[in-house]
Chain A
């Protein structure tokens, strides 16, 4: 039994125009100590998938399928039991460290809060533990931080605090949603190294959401490539980076700036834009932007073609490799 098993996860948002599918048919599983990357453009359903795992979907959004955590389906769990898992065994780090911390509470209070909530600790003990956590995330002068407020910290420091909050109860699964997007490039590397080290050290499972292929390539074992709410390619990171089976995956890689490329040559951009969720066509959602498109692609959803061990792509033309 895998630590976390996601089966046919879908998220729909009912609106006046009908139900909008935000996430469809997402399947994956993850073990302790494993790291999974989810990549794709903005609006492809990465964050919705993560929020579904935490049971924190926006009001009105309806999940379906199954998310089994140690065999138990989280989607069927009552809210009070879900609250006992959140922040305790499942933790999440968000994209915006600037706004993800409460501006009117001290750092110490915000870290201690989950310890008091889940561990039943008393405040002095919880604050001592908060200092230890701040040391763990390599925060300079951890003791002095307890009485400080978020606005007195830099972006990188705030993200360290967020990580400390997420790790407070030693979760089994850490979900990091674009944890470094809002940070300076130098700070990005530090925070990623930190997350990577801590995952190794504490033996958690990590779900890393990013649009940055470099980051995902560096620290994940497996990758899901998402497009318009669906997983279009999934496989071991090393294999997937070597053999990019889906045209969209190749497009993502093509859009990366590379050192040594001719100066002045234009960066590749995938033509067109992600279709709006309620306009996703019946067949392959990528068809309108794909150079290999065939009539059959528009007629029906392409099959999930195995292109290597545990490596598959949702495409008719996996025979083309470059």
Chain B
């Protein structure tokens, strides 16, 4: 287990270094003046020169890269060009919106997908199974921003139960939570549809195993067998897809946070790219890469929790 963790840690660092190198090369070393890119071609030459000095572009690339890395290690991510505040603070205050949103969306995804997937598998080749398969096909086909608009029309405009957009801040408590409900559902839909299908086929496969018959021979009902013996054995592919989905969720939040006007990380990325705030973009991309590696690590740990046979293999 220790060597496993150490190996993972090494992979984590290697991934970060590789990502940061690629980001740095693309944004700052390849031909094209980053300062000019940020200010636009109509910028005054003295403004460009001032920004070049501020970014330290007069220094050699290797030095600039090392300064940036040293800053990352200290938690000093630089000052955003457009916002004029520290990037670390900026990311921090956006994360308190996006992280809860992602977690709620992921929990919804899991709950919906496992229920539908197990149900469909247990009703294999009956109306219930066909119903779930049709519904999930539809769920995969619907783009999430359009589904988001439908949700707003129904729950915000027509029924008036939930806010249509915006985020009042966590000091507002339940109201803040309420404003995350619709975005979370919009994010969860497509994912749940895919995950439900994965769950269904994984459960169907496990249902053919001999130990399912043993469980029934003990006197467990079909439903008890399904939840106590089958589900955990079918979780490996499910958790794999969940990990990928959680990594992809951020791409989803870029769109959904724009639809719902949520001041989250997705919107920050969108805005910084729009405003060519390369300082923010650089840091956020490295942060996202780190997140993917962390999620993969958690997925690997979950494998060992789910299946004891994978514990000794390490």
Contacts and interface: CB of A to CB of B under 8 A. Distances in A.
A123 interface: no
Nearest to A95: B210
Contacts of B178: none
B308 A103 contact: yes
A237 B210 CA distance: 31
Interface stretch (A1-9, A113-121, A219-227, A274-282): A113-121
A162 B221 CA distance: 19
B217 interface: yes
B210 A103 contact: no
Interface in B140-181: none
Interface of A: 54, 56, 79-80, 83-88, 91-92, 94, 96, 99-105, 113-114, 117-118, 149, 151, 162, 165-166
A165 B214 contact: yes
A104 B306 contact: yes
Contacts of B210: 94, 96, 99-100
Contact of B233 (A85, A103, A165): A103
B215 interface: yes
B211 interface: yes
Contact of B220 (A92, A94, A103, A117): A117
Contacts of A54: 217
B213 A56 contact: yes
19 contacts: A83-B221, A86-B219, A87-B218, A92-B217, A94-B214, A96-B210, A99-B211, A100-B210, A100-B211, A101-B211, A102-B214, A102-B215, A102-B229, A102-B233, A104-B306, A104-B307, A117-B220, A165-B214, A166-B217
A89 B197 CA distance: 38
Interface string B175-215: 00000000000000000000000000000000001110111
B303 to A, nearest CB: 11
B54 interface: no
B214 A100 contact: yes
Nearest to A165: B218
B218 A86 contact: yes
B218 A102 contact: no
Nearest to A85: B219
Contact of A104 (B216, B220, B233): B233
A87 B306 CA distance: 26
Contact of A151 (B215, B218, B232, B309): B309
Contacts of A117: 218-220
A48 B314 CA distance: 41
B216 A56 contact: yes
Contacts of A104: 232-233, 306-308
Contacts of A87: 217-220
A149 B214 CA distance: 16
B221 A114 contact: no
Contacts of B229: 102, 105
Contact of B211 (A91, A102, A114, A118): A102
Given A102-B233, A103-B307, A162 B218 contact: no
A84 B214 contact: no
A281 B127 CA distance: 37
A103 B233 CA distance: 8
Interface string B277-314: 00000000000000000000000000000111100000
A74 to B, nearest CB: 13
